[in-house]
């Protein structure tokens, strides 16, 4: 079974949902988390991306996210993102549920996007919850209203997922005919529970497919950009 099989399934499906992870954005130049060159190979996530790091090691926490936010400025969505946006416009997709925090799906043109892990391009105060401009966070400022610590609207280890994004993803995945999982190791709970909640066909597009233990109907090994372009040829 190949890319043409997936295209055929997409054309037959009344409701297709995409679930993406960091591997969707590596072709844009953004590292993933668990590959050889991923963030968590060099840095322990507990020291920079957890509730404890925000509370007890704020300067390092802030430095880590400032670095990630700055690096986004040099990167743009790639052909694979554009194909997903085009599929939504053509009525081939119901929702992109993403663990990515870069907003590249929206930049490429997708409108139906659920940000399961939040994003790093909007900021709020950890103490009072009010939204503040990104520039304040980048300038090491404190909250204008209460002098609290500023932070990106990203989900940290130790926090629950945004309820609306989770409920929407769950509902669409449960009723989908087809779920296409792209560029995620599926190691992180609770998002890794989502594919199994679908009664529809399950497809996995990933560079490394050896470690996956879920029950996929079709596995397409390769980069997201290449595989999506191949599938698109048949649509
Ligand atoms: P991972 O780094 O765990 O997994 C990325 C997967 O994408 C790996 O299996 C890679 O082999 C694959 N991959 C890399 N480049 C690819 C490409 N060009 N095309 C296709 N596949 C490719 O990243 P996630 O599964 O997204 O959480 O990680 C889940 C969460 O863990 C992240 O959202 C982040 C992290 O801690 C938060 O920030 C809250």
51-90 per-position pLDDT tens digit: 999 999 999 999 999 999 999 999 999 999 999 999 999 9
Two structure tokens written together for 179: 């779920």
Bridge partners (DSSP) of residue 30 are none
CB 33 within 8 A of CB 39: yes
CB 46 within 8 A of CB 70: no
For residue 139, pLDDT beyond 80: yes
Distance from residue 9's CA to the centre of ligand 1 (Å): 25
What's the mean pLDDT in 94-118?
A: 98
Distance from residue 66's CA to the centre of ligand 1 (Å): 20
CB 141 within 8 A of CB 157: no
Helix and strand numbers, DSSP H then E, in the chain: 10, 9
Ligand 1, pocket-test mutation among 183, 229, 231, most atoms within 8 A of CB: 183
Distance from residue 146's CA to the centre of ligand 1 (Å): 36
**Ligand 1 pocket, Cβ-based, cut-off 6 angstroms:** 21-23, 26-27, 32-35, 38, 45, 49, 99, 117, 154-155, 183-185, 187-188, 206-208, 223-224
pLDDT band at residue 1, thresholds of 50, 70 and 90? low
The architecture (CATH level 2) of 34-74+121-154 comes to: 2-Layer Sandwich (3.30)
Which of ligand 1's atoms lies nearest the C-alpha of 21?
26
Residue 93: CB atoms within 10 Å? 22
Just list the catalytic residues. 117
The pair phi, psi for residue 167, each rounded to 5°, is -65, -40
What's the mean pLDDT in 180-197?
A: 96
Ligand 1 atom 35 nearest Cα: 33
Q: Residue ranges of the domains in the chain?
A: 1-30+77-117+160-235, 34-74+121-154
**Candidate CATH numbers 3.65.10.10, 3.40.50.1220, 3.30.479.30, 3.30.1490.20; the one for domain 1-30+77-117+160-235:** 3.40.50.1220
Contacts of 139 (CB under 8 A, 6+ apart): none
pLDDT band at residue 226, thresholds of 50, 70 and 90? very high
């Amino acid at each position: 079974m190949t890319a043409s099989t997936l295209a055929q399934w997409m054309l037959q499906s009344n409701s297709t949902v995409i679930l993406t992870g960091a591997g969707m954005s590596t072709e844009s130049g953004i590292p993933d988390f668990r590959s050889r060159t991923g963030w968590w190979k060099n840095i322990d996530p507990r020291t920079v991306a957890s509730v404890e790091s925000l509370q007890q090691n704020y300067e390092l926490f802030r430095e880590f996210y400032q670095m990630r936010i700055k690096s986004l400025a040099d990167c743009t969505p790639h052909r694979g993102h554009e194909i997903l946006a085009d599929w939504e416009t053509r009525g081939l997709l119901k929702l992109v549920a993403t663990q990515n925090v870069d907003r590249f799906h929206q930049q490429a043109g997708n409108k139906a996007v659920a940000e399961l892990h939040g994003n790093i391009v909007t900021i709020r105060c950890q103490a009072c919850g009010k939204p503040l401009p990104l520039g304040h966070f980048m300038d090491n400022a404190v909250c204008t209203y209460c002098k609290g610590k500023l932070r990106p609207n990203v989900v940290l280890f130790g926090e629950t997922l945004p309820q609306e994004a989770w409920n929407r993803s769950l509902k669409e995945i449960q009723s989908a005919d087809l779920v296409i999982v792209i560029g995620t190791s599926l190691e992180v709970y609770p998002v890794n529970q989502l594919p199994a909640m679908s009664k529809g066909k399950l497809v996995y597009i990933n560079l490394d497919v050896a470690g996956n233990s879920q029950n996929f109907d079709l596995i397409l090994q390769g980069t997201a950009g290449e595989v999506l372009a191949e599938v698109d040829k048949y649509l």
